[in-house]
Amino acid sequence: MTQPDEFDLEAAFEAARAAPPQMSEALVAQIARDARTHLPKQSWWARLLSMTGGPVGLGGLVTATVAGFWFGAAPPSETLDPMVIFGTIELAADDTAVDDDMTYLFGFEWITEEG
Amino acid sequence: MQDAQQEHETLKDTGEYDAERDADAALLARYAAGDEAAARLLSARLAPRAFAHAFRVLGDRAEAEDVTQEAMLRLWKPAPKWDAGSTWLYRVVANLCLDRMRRTRPDTLDEMDSPADPAPRIETRLHDAARHDALQSALLRLPERQRQAVVLRHLEGLAKPQIAEILDVGVEAVESLTARGKRALTADLAAQRDALGYSDDTT
């Protein structure tokens, strides 16, 4: 039976919670526009970070740059010269041990035939 | 026993609320660094709650949309607001609502008091809608602070310490506001139900 002074307030709250008022599409779009309008400009540093793939990407970039600079400033021995490795030029004649090693790598030995 | 359980719930609420605050702060920091994706996430997290609160407190869609847009705009504008997040936004919304209620109160209170459509209702489906509308009208008849406290606690489901921060009062005041608000709502809704002739009985 209905009591004059009682009302199931909890049930009314529950029904209201289950159906929260919804924003219109127009308001959602307006809020997104406002957010874009006031979006702070990214600093050059933040842009660089996002372009290079974050701190990890930037770290790799820095390592490669430093290594490249070092190879230029203090090149390792000429045995690492890519021209030699691919057989385009030959090593100095007096370095016979390395010369033997290198001819072993050249499958068709066309360099020695021609030379 | 009940006290211990209540205390446990409050602690749990507080923990969740701290985690939420941290997440909002992290997103806002990303937005401040120029990250547009963070703006989308923040809008999705905060705007619906701001709107729901404003709508229930003001009872008017257009006004609630204005308040929501204004509150979100304040979130986007660069300003020192280190603690911005849901609590900060609810606080802005609560104050904007208060301003509007004070500006419009003399005209709107009478309209809000007029009873809803008295035509006979077809049970269940309309029953819920009627009860929901009745709750909304009864909420609008509560004093401003009680209305805000009841909506934040029982419809938005916030923890008491968070509500205390939003309304700028102590936790005891929140308890008193919600308790008085609920008593007034119960009495109002019981009277409405009897006047409108729809029953809350399920048996």
| Cα–Cα dist B32/B126, whole Å | 47
Dump the DSSP string for B121-156. --HHHHHHHHHHHHHHHHHHTS-HHHHHHHIIIIIS
Rounded distance between C-alpha atoms, residue B25 and residue A45, angstroms? 22
Dihedral, B158, B161, B167, B172 alpha carbons, nearest 10: 120
How far is the C-alpha of B190 from the C-alpha of B172, rounded, in Å? 27
Tokens 């963070």 correspond to B38
User: How confident is the model at residue B77, as a pLDDT?
Assistant: 85
Please determine, for residue B101, whether its predicted confidence score (pLDDT) is greater than 80: yes
Q: What is the pLDDT of residues B163-191, one digit of tens each?
A: 999 999 999 999 999 999 999 999 999 98
Average pLDDT, chain B: 81
Question: How many beta carbons lie within 10 A of that of residue B89, not counting itself?
Answer: 25
- pLDDT at position B202 is 46
pLDDT in tens, B32-79: 888 889 999 999 999 999 999 999 999 999 999 999 999 999 999 876
On whether any CB of chain A is under 8 Å from the CB of B69, the answer is yes
Residues 140..169 of B with a Cβ closer than 8 Å to A: which? 154-155, 157
Q: How much is the pLDDT for A107?
A: 58
CB contact under 8 A, B135 and A35: no
Exposure string for B115-140, b = 16+ CB within 10 A, e = fewer: eeeeeeeeeeeebeebbeebbbbbbb
Highest-confidence segment of A4-13, A30-39, B82-91, B96-105? A30-39
**Chain B residues touching residue A41 (CB < 8 angstroms):** 34
pLDDT of residue B16: 73
Contacting residues of B for A30, CB less than 8 Å apart: 69
Interchain CB contacts (distance < 8 Å): A and B:
118
Which pTM value belongs to this model? 0.66
Binned at pLDDT 50, 70 and 90, residue B155 comes out as very high
Name the pLDDT band for B18 (thresholds 50, 70, 90). Answer: confident
Q: Are B71 and B50 in contact (CB under 8 A)?
A: yes
Model confidence at B23, pLDDT cuts 50, 70, 90, reads confident
8 A C-beta contact, residue B99 and residue B175: no
Sign of CA dihedral A30, B92, A17, B39: positive
Q: What is the mean pLDDT of chain A?
A: 74
Q: Which residue has the higher pLDDT, A20 or A98?
A: A20
Dump pLDDT digits (tens) for A12-65: 999 999 999 999 999 999 999 999 999 887 777 767 777 777 777 778 888 888
CA distances to A44, A55, A61, A63 from A51, rounded to whole Å, are: 10, 10, 11, 17
DSSP A9: H
Chain A residues within 8 Å of chain B (Cβ atoms):
1-9, 11-13, 15-17, 19-24, 27-28, 30-32, 34-43, 46
Q: In this predicted model, which residue has the larger pLDDT, B120 or B146?
A: B146
What ipTM does the predicted assembly reach? 0.76
pLDDT digit string, tens, across residues B105-122: 654 444 444 444 444 444
Please tell me the least confidently modeled range out of B22-26, B58-62, B145-149. B22-26
CA count, 13 A, side-chain hemisphere, B33: 16
* Residue B125 touches chain A, beta carbons under 8 Å: no
Tokens of A103: 């001819």
Check B55 against A5: CB less than 8 A apart: no
pLDDT attached to residue B108:
43
Cβ(B144)–Cβ(B167) below 8 Å: no
> What mean pLDDT is predicted for residues B122-137?
66
